[in-house]
Amino acid sequence: MTARFLGVDGGGTKTEFVCIDDSGVQIAGATLGTTYHVEVGHEEAVRRLGEGVARICLALGIAPTDLTQVFFGLPGYGEDRTVDPLLYAACGALLGHHRYTCGNDMVCGWAGSLGCEDGINIVAGTGSIGYGERQGRSARAGGWGEVIGDEGSAHWIAVQGLATFSRMSDGRQAIGPLHQRLAEHLSLRDDMEVCERVMGRAALSRSEIAALAPIVSAAADAGDEAAHAILVDAAEKLAALVIALVDRLGFGAAEPVSVSYSGSILTNVGLVRRHFVTSLQNAGDFKLVSPRYTPAYGAALYSRHNAGA
């Protein structure tokens, strides 16, 4: 029988389903909205997971019980002792078998970027987190959520941009291009209306706030010094995740460390990526590895890895 390894990469904005065969060829795929239970609720997250699995099975003409192995990389998994068992049980119910594992979506980024090989991957998308493995040992850094941390993420950059907008508006900081760009993007009739837009009755969601990060990046490109400083600070905070993981994983002082990345910020914002690389070069012997595969394909690779294939 043809082996079918399904990987699920549940990001803060979207969830991707990729199924590969035993040779690594993708044989089916699907994309749905975020399965971050904190944002959409447990029932909706499970419904979307079920829909994604159903789409994969429909494309292949099989039942969920025919899937060889499945890995669910879910946002926030491993961070709530009450919710985690519920998500795990729900995934089993969707499949009708126990050939599956659940983990945090940070694993998908690592598995994709480094092909399941030793090293460290930094995810900087809606949120931010670092994850690495070395000789069977694994560790994470960051990923504490937007209220506590997620430094360097799209959400964090957007929040710093909004804070800068407020200081520009009331005279605590010189007005730069960021002020006008945010006002136009949010269609503000006056500056105080930003409070209603961000925190009012129809407040922006986590992912909608994160979607403001490109405005900060565009303002930096237009010469806004404050926006530029936000992006440099983001890069340094993401590099700090790498440095923390080097110690936690036990890499030796003279041991080269492979580092890769995933998510919109380090992938698409050149200024952040350049300063991220510079920070690492100044800190030790790091080898930057361009992402080999997508996190979604990485989830499928990890599923195959878990099956011992």
Give the model confidence (pLDDT) of 229-266 as tens digits: 999 999 999 999 999 999 999 998 888 899 999 999 99
Looking at domain 5-115+294-306, what is its CATH homologous superfamily? ATPase, nucleotide binding domain (3.30.420.40)
Q: Is 299 exposed, middle or buried (0-12, 13-18, 19+ CB in 10 A)?
A: buried
- The pTM of the full predicted model, rounded to 2 decimals, is 0.86
**What pLDDT is stored for residue 38 in this prediction?**
86
**What pLDDT is stored for residue 131 in this prediction?**
96
Domain boundary assignment for the chain: 5-115+294-306, 118-290
Q: Contact, 169 vs 188, CB < 8 A?
A: no
Whether the per-residue pLDDT at 202 is higher than 90: the answer is no
Report the distance separating Cα 139 and Cα 224, nearest Å.
37
Identify the band that residue 133 occupies on the pLDDT scale cut at 50, 70 and 90. very high
Angle at 267 (CA atoms; ends 178, 136), nearest 5 degrees: 135
**What pLDDT is stored for residue 211 in this prediction?**
94
The SS3 assignment for 258 reads strand
What is the per-residue pLDDT across 80-120, written as a single tens digit (0 to 9) for each? 899 999 999 999 999 999 999 999 999 999 999 999 999 99
Identify the band that residue 308 occupies on the pLDDT scale cut at 50, 70 and 90. confident
**What pLDDT is stored for residue 130 in this prediction?**
96
Residue 249 to residues 11, 77, 137, 244, 246, Cα–Cα distance (Å): 25, 21, 7, 9, 5
* 274 Cβ contact list (under 8 Å, min separation 6): 235
Identify the band that residue 159 occupies on the pLDDT scale cut at 50, 70 and 90. very high
The answer to whether the 5-115+294-306 and 118-290 domains have the same CATH topology is yes
Whether the per-residue pLDDT at 180 is higher than 90: the answer is yes
| pLDDT, mean of residues 139-148 | 92
Say which CATH class 118-290 falls into.
alpha beta
% of the chain exceeding 70 in pLDDT: 99
**What pLDDT is stored for residue 206 in this prediction?**
87
| pLDDT, mean of residues 177-203 | 93
Identify the band that residue 174 occupies on the pLDDT scale cut at 50, 70 and 90. very high
Mean pLDDT value across the chain: 94
